Amino acid sequence: MAESYDYDLFVIGAGSGGVRASRVAAAHGARVAIAEDHRVGGTCVIRGCVPKKLLVYGAHFAEDLQDARRFGWDVPKCRFDWPALRDNVLAEVERLEGIYGEILERNEVELHEQRATVTGPNEVTLADGTRLTAGTILIATGAWPMVPDLPGAELGITSNEVFHLDAVPRRVAIAGGGYIANEFAGIFHEFGAEVTLINRGDRILRHYDEQIRDRLLQISLTKGIGFKFNAPFERIEKAEDGSLDIHLKGSPDPLKADLLLWAVGRQPNSRGLGLEEVGVKLGKDGAVLVDEDNQTSVPSIYAIGDVTNRVQLTPVAIREGQAFADSVFGGKPTRVDYENIPSAVFSHPPIAGVGMTESEARDKLGSYKTYTSDFRPMKNVLAGRNERSLYKMIVEGETERVVGLHMIGPDAPEILQAAAVAVKAGLTKAQFDDTIALHPTMSEELVLMR
């Protein structure tokens, strides 16, 4: 590396991808600095996956406490204390932020706690005016919640603010039908709020298998979560009592809510970074365009994670960060394999999937078959909870190679991670069936599908 630069690598953004890339590059011997203008840890740790999952756990106790009575426990009337959960979650986030900071320190990655912009192919400028040079610059600035441009949109909040509420609102409206909308619909519903999900289209979770998402819709409706489909927003107004009037196109009366959560997607965080000025090409929604090696149109500038808008998932950003650092600083050219990425929605109950959905198989394969298991988990039966799980396997017609696995039910994401190894390895239905069932579990259904 040229010693004439201040650093070998300057990373902008200390989220999951940026931290992985910087610590691995440093371990390979590079002189690394990283800039972060918010908090070390990024979306996943500070205002995403981690605090969300903790809220999902917290919310699930509502059902667990109810079910416990059927299992013989004398559960007195319980009261939910939102500030206690919120503060415990925020304290855990702070602890993790500290750990991320320590990882950087331990690996001798210099942290600049301020905004950095790109001012040349090998130069960044910090908010305090300091100019620094680096042989390579990595953009890992993530994505930011989208808020539509319509009157009163600012009266809503986004997933950035949702972890800091003073109280659980009585009526919650959620805009969108994707990951965040369905996860927070479940969370707020379990905390006792009246929840309505407002979707511009006619389906939730567009990228998941139709039968699985239909099952979630059916269970959510049964639980009492409201849905409005084909309902585009017109404007939002604040009523005299401080609540919100949400006017939807084609609806004579506004929907009344105490909180509106925008969950209509996340946009790459590339604005104002000076990228276009130095020649970095941006695509739709400001996504930084990169090749298979994460390199932008300016050879010394790379980008990974949500800012590239390829797959907005933390483990993917981490893989990209690792591949970048190994390739550029470790002498080990590595590319991320984007085939068969497992994903999950932490709804109540959760969904998990890997590989092709049935409609993708229909479009892509000459012939395919599906196997399903539609069952009521043993625990739900005794609890008197009328909630059925659905597992679905999609196989290539002739070889019966498993090309997709989709599940909804308790612990589906925990179960799917292991099964995703088999799908990634290209195993067949017969090989699944060769494995003796582990009884009594829910996951045994994976080897018993008909």
Task: Using CB under 6 A, list all residues that contact ligand NDP.
Answer: 148, 175-181, 183, 199-201, 206, 263-266, 312-313, 343-346
Yes or no: say if 279 and 298 are a contact pair by the CB < 8 Å rule.
yes
- For residues 90 and 194, give the distance between their C-alpha atoms in angstroms, rounded to a whole number: 24
Q: How far is the CB of 183 from ligand NDP (least distance, A)?
A: 6
- Pick the closer one to ligand NDP by CB: 50 or 264: 264
Whether 439 is a known active-site residue: answer: yes
- Pick the closer one to ligand NDP by CB: 110 or 411: 411
β-pairing, 143-145 vs 131-139, is unpaired
Q: Which residue is nearest to ligand NDP (CB)?
A: 178
Q: Where are the beta strands (DSSP E) in 64-221?
A: 110-112, 116-120, 123-126, 131-139, 143-145, 171-175, 194-198
Select which of 28, 60, 164, 439 is catalytic. 439
Contacts of 349 (CB under 8 A, 6+ apart): 216, 219, 387, 389, 408, 409, 410, 412
Q: How far is the CB of 262 from ligand NDP (least distance, A)?
A: 8
Q: How far is the CB of 108 from ligand NDP (least distance, A)?
A: 32
Burial readout 20-33 (b: 16 or more C-beta within 10 A, e: otherwise): bbbbbbbbbebbbb
Q: How far is the CB of 26 from ligand NDP (least distance, A)?
A: 28
Q: Which of 439, 389, 397 is nearest to 416 (CA)?
A: 389
- Pick the closer one to ligand NDP by CB: 390 or 412: 412
Yes or no: say if 178 and 199 are a contact pair by the CB < 8 Å rule.
no
Torsion of CA 139, 140, 145, 151, to 10 degrees: -20
- Amino acid identity of residue 200, one-letter, is R
- For residues 225 and 273, give the distance between their C-alpha atoms in angstroms, rounded to a whole number: 40
Q: How far is the CB of 34 from ligand NDP (least distance, A)?
A: 23
- For residues 90 and 99, give the distance between their C-alpha atoms in angstroms, rounded to a whole number: 14
- Pick the closer one to ligand NDP by CB: 173 or 180: 180
- Pick the closer one to ligand NDP by CB: 330 or 342: 342
Q: Which residues are catalytic?
A: 439
